[in-house]
């Protein structure tokens, strides 16, 4: 049997809180192929962010195994958080190049950063500082920073949750366009099930640290909420969450 490009097998993460043992993940497994866009949805505290942090190497598992490609070594990971987390003393371009700032200037991928500055509509703001940006522009810069590193997987933890409706819709379209143009592998955590259906190829439902659903979203792009297929997927996913 051929292994998937990414495999998380029986992940468990326990925390001791006030003498009690809390299972943030309880045997969670997930596989993905290159170019997958997998959204992970569920109630608050269900283990979504814990999974992303384990994949990113920010949190150790209690038990379980991760594998990337044909081995178990780490992959190049890019992460986009709910807040942009830009360095306020750096310009937009310098923030996008932040993973390379420790090396010699000659080794910096200036052409690559210019490509993402252009594709994300940030060229006019390349010399601006984070305090001079709107929330949407700042999040575009955070996305550019993750992409410039050329990661094998991009982890997005509620990246649009703090944005207004119109900016959120614009960035949804931008993320989807980049996913398709760059064949990006994305794990996308969101509380918005409609957002997950709009963007993803699969929606994974997690509850109390366990995977309780893995629903393929076999709908053509662009996806509209008024389409009957969209509504059926929404009902299927919500039936797992709202019980």
pLDDT in tens, 168-203: 898 899 899 989 988 889 999 999 999 999 999 999
| Tokens matching residue 23 | 């299972």
pLDDT at 68: 85
Using CA atoms, how far apart are residues 25 and 55, in angstroms rounded to an integer? 13
| Tokens matching residue 231 | 């509504």
pLDDT at 21: 81
Contacting residues for 79 by C-beta, under 8 A, at least 6 apart: 52, 56, 146, 154, 155, 156, 157
Helix (H, G, I), strand (E, B) or coil at 113: helix
The residue that leads in pLDDT, 116 or 65, is: 65
Backbone dihedral region for residue 210 (phi beyond 0: left; psi -120 to 50: alpha; all else: beta): beta
Give pTM, 2 decimals. Answer: 0.90
**Does the pLDDT of residue 1 top 90, yes or no?**
no
pLDDT at 106: 46
Cα distance between the two ends of the chain? 36
Helix (H, G, I), strand (E, B) or coil at 33: coil
| Tokens matching residue 188 | 């996308």
pLDDT tier for residue 104 given thresholds of 50, 70 and 90: low
pLDDT at 71: 58
Distances from the Cα of 149 to the Cα of 15, 40, 82, 98, 131, angstroms: 32, 23, 19, 9, 24
DSSP 23: E
Which domains, from first to last, does the chain contain? Answer: 6-241 (3.40.50.300)
pLDDT at 182: 86
Question: Of 1-10, 148-157, 197-206, which range is least confident?
Answer: 1-10
pLDDT tier for residue 50 given thresholds of 50, 70 and 90: very high
**Does the pLDDT of residue 112 top 80, yes or no?**
no
Mean pLDDT of all residues in the chain? 88
Please write the tens of the pLDDT for every residue from 31-46: 999 999 999 999 998 9
**Does the pLDDT of residue 82 top 90, yes or no?**
no
């Amino acid at each position: 049997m051929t292994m998937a490009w990414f495999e998380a097998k029986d992940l468990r993460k326990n925390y001791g809180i006030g003498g009690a043992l809390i299972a943030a993940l309880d045997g969670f497994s997930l596989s993905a192929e290159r170019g997958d866009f997998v959204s992970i949805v569920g109630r608050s505290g269900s283990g979504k962010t814990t999974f992303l942090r384990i994949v990113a190497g920010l949190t150790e598992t209690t038990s379980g195994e991760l594998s990337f490609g044909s081995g178990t070594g780490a992959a190049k990971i890019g992460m986009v958080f709910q807040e942009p987390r830009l360095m306020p003393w750096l310009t937009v371009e310098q923030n996008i190049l932040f993973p390379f700032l420790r090396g010699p200037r000659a080794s910096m991928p200036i052409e690559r950063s210019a490509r993402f500055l252009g594709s994300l509509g940030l060229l006019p703001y390349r010399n601006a500082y984070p305090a001079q940006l709107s929330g949407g522009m700042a999040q575009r810069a955070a996305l550019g920073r993750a992409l410039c590193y050329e990661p094998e997987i991009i982890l997005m933890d509620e990246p649009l949750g703090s944005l207004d409706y119109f900016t959120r819709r614009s960035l949804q379209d931008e993320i989807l366009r980049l996913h398709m143009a760059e064949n990006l592998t994305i794990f996308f955590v969101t509380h918005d099930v409609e957002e997950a259906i709009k963007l993803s190829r699969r929606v994974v439902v997690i509850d109390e640290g366990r995977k309780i659903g893995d629903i393929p979203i076999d709908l053509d792009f662009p996806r509209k909420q008024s389409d009957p297929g969209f509504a059926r997927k929404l009902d299927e996913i919500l039936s797992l969450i709202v019980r």
